């Protein structure tokens, strides 16, 4: 493989300046749920409704998540940075103390948004796999989002009024009283 003209540290530092939301991507397996923290998430298409997630090929969750027919994406809320940290930690029970909603795929209660997805396509991209999912259910939670920037977690600060009222108010099955604080 040709050496890259961009040092890995410069690449990482530049990308750390891209502020993003934080998700947990998870799937059910015969031996229990598997998931990981991901900021490599984006919407792809409106019709059909597609999203994508980038998964490191050496990640412990890789095979289970890309091999699953269905997976869940939980867009974490501001008070769930502990969940983001827990789902990035190796060799632990990542689901410990994490409240989930009743669903065919693992979805985290108190999240800012929840997507149930069906695997649509897989693409190899360097050391990652791009998993494209068709969204088959979308729920909106009440919590403001968790934001990741410069390797730190923070909150979103609005500087303008919303452009339009949301047609989808928070879903009561997500908002509950459990807002995901660390127990």
Q: Report the residue number, 102 or 151, with the smaller CB distance to ligand FMN.
A: 151
H or E stretch covering 85: helix 81-86
Cα separation, 135 vs 139, in Å, equals 11
Contact pick of 39, 77, 80, 112 for ligand FMN (by CB under 6 A): 39
Q: Report the residue number, 63 or 134, with the smaller CB distance to ligand FMN.
A: 63
CA nearest neighbour of 125 among 20, 55, 62, 37: 55
Task: State the DSSP code for 57.
Answer: T
Q: Applying CB under 6 A, does 55 fall inside the site for ligand FMN? A: yes
Contact pick of 1, 46, 90, 125 for ligand FMN (by CB under 6 A): 90
Cα separation, 16 vs 138, in Å, equals 28
Q: Report the residue number, 36 or 95, with the smaller CB distance to ligand FMN.
A: 36
Q: Applying CB under 6 A, does 54 fall inside the site for ligand FMN? A: yes
Residue 42 in tokens? 């984006």
Contact pick of 29, 40, 44, 136 for ligand FMN (by CB under 6 A): 40
Residue 140 phi, psi (nearest 5):
-110, 130
Cα separation, 11 vs 5, in Å, equals 10
Contact pick of 21, 36, 109, 141 for ligand FMN (by CB under 6 A): 36
Contact pick of 16, 60, 93, 121 for ligand FMN (by CB under 6 A): 60
Near ligand FMN by CB under 6 A, which window of 82-90, 99-107, 118-126, 162-170?
82-90
25, 73 Cβ separation under 8 angstroms = yes
Q: Which residues bind ligand FMN (CB under 6 A)?
A: 22, 36-40, 54-56, 59-61, 84, 87-88, 90, 148
């Amino acid at each position: 493989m040709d050496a890259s003209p961009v040092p890995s540290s410069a690449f990482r530092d530049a990308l750390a300046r891209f502020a993003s939301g934080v998700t947990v991507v998870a799937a059910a397996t015969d031996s229990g749920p598997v998931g990981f923290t991901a900021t490599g998430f984006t919407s792809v298409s409106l019709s059909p409704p597609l999203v994508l997630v980038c998964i490191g090929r050496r990640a412990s969750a890789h095979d289970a998540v890309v091999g699953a027919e269905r997976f869940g994406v939980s867009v974490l809320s501001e008070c769930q940075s502990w969940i983001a940290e827990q789902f990035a930690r190796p060799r632990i029970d990542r689901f410990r103390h994490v409240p989930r909603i009743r669903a065919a795929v693992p979805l985290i209660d108190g999240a800012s948004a929840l997507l149930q997805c069906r695997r649509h396509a897989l693409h190899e991209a360097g050391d990652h796999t791009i998993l494209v999912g068709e969204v088959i259910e979308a729920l909106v939670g009440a919590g403001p989002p968790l934001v990741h920037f410069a390797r730190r977690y923070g909150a979103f600060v609005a500087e303008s009024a919303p452009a339009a009222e949301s047609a989808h108010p928070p879903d009561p099955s997500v908002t509950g009283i459990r807002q995901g604080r660390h127990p």
